């Protein structure tokens, strides 16, 4: 008789999330403010992407990539990017947890993806297609771009 291996342990619960956001992007700053004003089931900490604090707290992350798309890190090291990051932010909010669950389904994921793409286009339109500090395609580290 063959014994099956023991089941994998469940993932650790998420007790706190860190949202890395582009502090040089007006839309990103507005969305950060909106998230901060909501009642949170899971506390959200906000850290500017590419900052010294972000680099210190998360040395293994690709910090250039965090300037291009929202990145959320769980307290157990989970990393969420793009639409998964937005869904995770909504999941952390008391009033939007059910919405996050709907968006995380196969039927809801295309809407989440489309929303993230629309936000990226709006961000590009507001910044003239340039990222933080006037850098092309948002690929600059703060303090090293055209506006530095």
| pLDDT digits 0-9 by tens, 97-116 | 999 999 999 999 888 888 88
Task: Give the model's confidence band at 122: pLDDT under 50 very low, under 70 low, under 90 confident, else very high.
Answer: confident
Whole-model pTM: value is 0.77
Cα→Cα distances 94→52, 99, 105, 106, Å: 31, 10, 19, 23
Contact between residue 141 and residue 50 where contact means Cβ atoms under 8 Å apart: yes
Distance CA 109, CA 87 (A): 9
- For 72, the 3-state DSSP assignment is strand
pLDDT at 129: 57
Task: Give the model's confidence band at 141: pLDDT under 50 very low, under 70 low, under 90 confident, else very high.
Answer: very low
pLDDT of 77 higher than 80: yes
- For 101, the 3-state DSSP assignment is helix
Task: Give the model's confidence band at 130: pLDDT under 50 very low, under 70 low, under 90 confident, else very high.
Answer: low
Distance CA 121, CA 53 (A): 28
pLDDT at 116: 80
Between 92 and 110, the higher pLDDT residue: 92
Contact between residue 145 and residue 132 where contact means Cβ atoms under 8 Å apart: yes
* pLDDT mean across residues, the chain: 83
- For 53, the 3-state DSSP assignment is helix
**12-60: pLDDT as tens digits:** 789 999 999 999 888 889 999 999 999 999 999 999 999 999 999 999 9
Distance CA 125, CA 72 (A): 24
Pairing relation of β-strands 79-81 and 17-21?
Answer: unpaired
């Amino acid at each position: 008789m063959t014994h099956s291996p023991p089941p994998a342990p469940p993932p650790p619960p998420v007790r706190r999330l860190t949202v890395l956001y582009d502090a040089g992007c007006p839309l990103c700053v507005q969305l950060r403010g909106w998230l901060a004003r909501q009642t949170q089931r899971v506390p959200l900490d906000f850290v500017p992407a590419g900052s010294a604090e972000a680099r210190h707290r998360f040395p293994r992350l690709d910090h250039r990539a965090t300037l291009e798309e929202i990145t959320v890190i769980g307290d157990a090291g989970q990393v969420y990017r793009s639409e998964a990051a937005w869904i995770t932010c909504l999941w952390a909010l008391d009033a939007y947890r059910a919405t996050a669950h709907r968006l995380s389904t196969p039927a809801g994921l295309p809407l989440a993806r489309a929303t993230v793409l629309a936000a990226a286009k709006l961000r590009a339109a507001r910044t003239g297609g340039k990222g933080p500090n006037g850098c092309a395609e948002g690929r600059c580290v703060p303090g090293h771009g055209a506006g530095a």
